[in-house]
Amino acid sequence: MPSRLRTVVTRGLASYLYPGLIILGSLVFGILVGFFLAFIRSSGELTLIPSAASIVYDLKGREVGRFFALENREPIPLSQIPQVVRDAVIAVEDARFYTHRGVDLRAIVRAAWADIRGGGLIEGGSTITQQLARNALLTQRKLISRKIREAFYAMAIERKYSKDQILEFYLNQVYFGHGAYGIQCAAKTFFGKEAKDLDLAEAALLAAILKSPKYYDPYLYPEAARRRRAVVLQQMVKYGYITQAQAKAAASEPLGVVPLKPRERRAAYFLEYIERQLASKFRRLELDTGGFRIYTTLDNDIQAAAEAMVAQMRPGRPDAKGIVQPQVALVALDPTTGYIKAMVGGRDFGNTQLNRADRAYRQPASTIKPFVYTAAIDSRTFTPASVLVDEPVSFKNNDGTSYNPRNYDGKYRGAITLQEAIEQSVNVIAVKLVDRLGPARVANYAKKMGLSSLVFTGRQNDLNLASLALGGLTRGVTPLELAAAYTPLANRGIKVEPLAILKVTDRQGNVLFEQRPRRRVVLDEATAYVMTNMLRRVVTHGTGRQAYLDEFHPVAGKTGTATRNVNAWFVGYTPNLLAAVWIGNDRQDQPLPFGSGEAARLWAVFMRQAVRHLPVASFVPPAGVTPEIAICKESGELFGPNCPAADQDFAVFLAGTEPRVFCHLHSSPVKPEGEGHELSSTTGGSPAVETETVTVRVCKESGLLANAFCPEEGIEEKAFRRGEEPTQYCNLHGPWSQR
């Protein structure tokens, strides 16, 4: 093309192109200005509150665990962040932070030149405010459009918030690696301390990590982290925050990071339990990001004892689903408040998340018997010394079939007191009691004491002898439900509902949700004490011997082994801690290689550790009960001077129901032959008529046979014609007179 023609064409195109470019540039500029003005106008709507993990605390204010979606963050105010941390971050990330208005043009030009020389997006040049905008409001992708929006957001943020507020938001927002978001979590993760306790070297290292948590990871790349820390320290010198001597000293220090801890699953089943409870109060997103403070009834020390107990279990084997069997569950309550102090729902939360503590219904077996005996004692028709006959019996069911209860050992003991029957967990006696009291009466006692899963209607229900006496329930019970139902026995007749969450607050401490103990009197205090005394004998003399602790910690409790040995239980309590332990296979058709003795053993393993964190206490007898009285096991009457020592037992009674007659089976008012016989005659000393007399010890005050409690000075020996001597023992002196 000739040069003249080229010139004409070029001028012609320019005459159209330049105006077009000007118009296009004006449009782009107008759009950018519009965006900017829109951001400025909307700056009042910007919210920079970072998401935060909700922290769960135990009863003593110690952290138990956290709920969070992706970012484990614990925001703290700027006042709790040391000045040395702020200086280190500003020196290396944004030296002109306190002078620019969100965007630092000088830094942008420097970064742009670095990108041009490197042939790509190499250096960001973003201010702290821009980084905050990106982390809180935008994506992390390096795009021109994002950089523009980032700048606009930064300017909007600067219009709404002060520099200190922006710095606080930033330090609580940024990621440091290893799951630590924000300066507080970073301080705990890398140094095992609070942010407020960080020193210069530690602050410089955390500031160094910010550039790249991956490449400056002090665990994976310690030398790179050390070099970057030195850069941070020199930047602090450059801008006058520290002296060269301070920088040199800090740079020579070891990195000082603590070993990384695997994320603990402490109290995992308890956390799962309260998470379900909170689901009805808060949305999941609120729980994971709202930074709630959840104050619970758990005691970390007692929970640790529960988890240590699991480690003492016999080895198990995985089933077809890979879940180790047998499984275990434990619930520990404060019987006076209902506070759940510990909870275990299985061997390992990582292996199985089913919380058997409150979601698995199992047959309670003989742990149901205390409800039967409570109904019996409270009726005042029966006492611990009441004698029933342990023998083969048969009962007619409603459908016409026969029910023949048997004892777990296949033996029958004959006449036996109720106290000994519960000690030895005799099934026949429990069934006889239900039969005499009536199933409805026993069921109502169990229900009001806390067995809420009883079934009273339908073709198959729990209003029958076997269910209520031996624990073969229609639905079964959970360890949590069973433990709660024992609280009236441990708590002077007062039932308390299990309680796990005390209150939930927001970040500012405002209470969002709060609960208090719920108590209700369901038993007479004296009845509860008599039952507790009987259950103490289960541990000292009966099937629960393996649950015995020591002479300083009295224990009351009951064992239970389900039919075919598929469930093993022990529910027991001291005056200030109650715990239920269940062991069994998830498939209830597989028997255990052991019985309830193993549950009692594990219970004791747990309690020996748990009671170390509790004051020593005793069961205090209330008004309305007798002191402990010696009785004869064979007769159920007062232990007499001639009763065999092996037959001696001790029991307490509701006042007015105690035995008052000495054992008639072993006591005789007649002295041994030859000691109390005299011959008398009517003539000259020759025995014309023989008259037999007996000499007995008589209480002067009552005129009756002296018993072991009559004062020695009030006893005299008197001779009577045979057949005229008193036959009853003194009713004025005895254990009842000591009340």
Write the pLDDT tens digit of every residue in 328-361: 999 999 999 999 999 999 999 989 999 999 999 9
What is the rounded average pLDDT of the residues 544-553? Answer: 95
Contact by Cβ (8 Å): 271, 500? no
**Residue from 623, 622, 629 nearest 735 by CA:** 629
What is the rounded average pLDDT of the residues 427-432? Answer: 96
* Antiparallel, parallel or unpaired: β 293-296 and 54-57: parallel
Contact by Cβ (8 Å): 571, 486? yes
What is the spatial distance between Cα 389 and Cα 368, in angstroms, rounded to a whole number?
21
DSSP classification of residue 676:
S
Contact by Cβ (8 Å): 491, 576? no
pLDDT over threshold 60, residue 298: yes
pLDDT over threshold 60, residue 446: yes
What is the rounded average pLDDT of the residues 427-449? Answer: 96
Instruction: Report the pLDDT value the prediction gives residue 198, as an integer from 0 to 100.
Output: 97
Instruction: Report the pLDDT value the prediction gives residue 677, as an integer from 0 to 100.
Output: 36
Annotation says 379 is catalytic = no
Residue 69 CA neighbour count, 13 Å, CB half: 12
pLDDT over threshold 80, residue 629: yes
Question: What's the pLDDT tens digit per position in 260-274?
Answer: 877 667 899 999 999
Catalytic residue among 93, 168, 420, 725: 93
What is the spatial distance between Cα 202 and Cα 82, in angstroms, rounded to a whole number?
11
The residue type at 205: L
Catalytic residue among 51, 54, 366, 702: 366
The residue type at 140: Q
Instruction: Report the pLDDT value the prediction gives residue 738, as an integer from 0 to 100.
Output: 42
Residue scoring higher pLDDT (262 or 438):
438
CB contact set of 459 (below 8 Å; sequence gap of 6+): none
Question: What's the pLDDT tens digit per position in 195-240?
Answer: 999 999 999 999 999 999 999 999 999 999 999 999 999 999 999 9
DSSP 3-state of 296: strand
Residue scoring higher pLDDT (673 or 156):
156
CB contact set of 678 (below 8 Å; sequence gap of 6+): 692, 693, 719
What is the spatial distance between Cα 629 and Cα 620, in angstroms, rounded to a whole number?
16
Instruction: Report the pLDDT value the prediction gives residue 142, as an integer from 0 to 100.
Output: 47
Topology classification of domain 76-252: Penicillin binding protein transpeptidase fold (1.10.3810)
CB contact set of 683 (below 8 Å; sequence gap of 6+): none
Question: What's the pLDDT tens digit per position in 35-49?
Answer: 555 555 544 456 677
pLDDT > 70: percent of the chain: 83
Residue scoring higher pLDDT (416 or 10):
416
pLDDT over threshold 60, residue 114: no
* Antiparallel, parallel or unpaired: β 180-181 and 72-73: parallel
Contact by Cβ (8 Å): 358, 365? no
Contacts of 131-138 with C-beta under 8 Å, sequence gap 24+, read 131/93, 131/170, 131/174, 132/48, 132/157, 132/166, 132/169, 132/170, 132/173, 133/157, 135/170, 135/173, 135/174, 135/175, 136/48, 136/50, 136/169, 136/173, 137/46
pLDDT over threshold 70, residue 411: yes
pLDDT band at 688 (very low <50, low <70, confident <90, very high): very low
Counts of helices then strands in the chain (DSSP H, E): 22, 25
Instruction: Report the pLDDT value the prediction gives residue 554, as an integer from 0 to 100.
Output: 97
Strand partners, 568: 561, 583
Question: What's the pLDDT tens digit per position in 9-22?
Answer: 455 555 555 555 55
| The two domains 76-252 and 363-477 share their CATH topology (first three levels equal) | no
DSSP classification of residue 262:
P
Question: What's the pLDDT tens digit per position in 238-291?
Answer: 999 999 999 999 999 999 999 987 766 789 999 999 999 999 899 888 888 888
Ranges of each domain in the chain: 3-45, 76-252, 363-477, 624-667, 669-739
The residue type at 256: G
pLDDT over threshold 90, residue 130: no
**Residue from 165, 275, 257, 179 nearest 219 by CA:** 257
* Beta strand spans in 106-260 (E): 175-177, 180-181
DSSP 3-state of 473: coil
Superfamily of domain 363-477: DD-peptidase/beta-lactamase superfamily (3.40.710.10)
Annotation says 514 is catalytic = no
Q: How confident is the prediction for the chain on average, in pLDDT?
A: 86
What is the spatial distance between Cα 263 and Cα 595, in angstroms, rounded to a whole number?
35
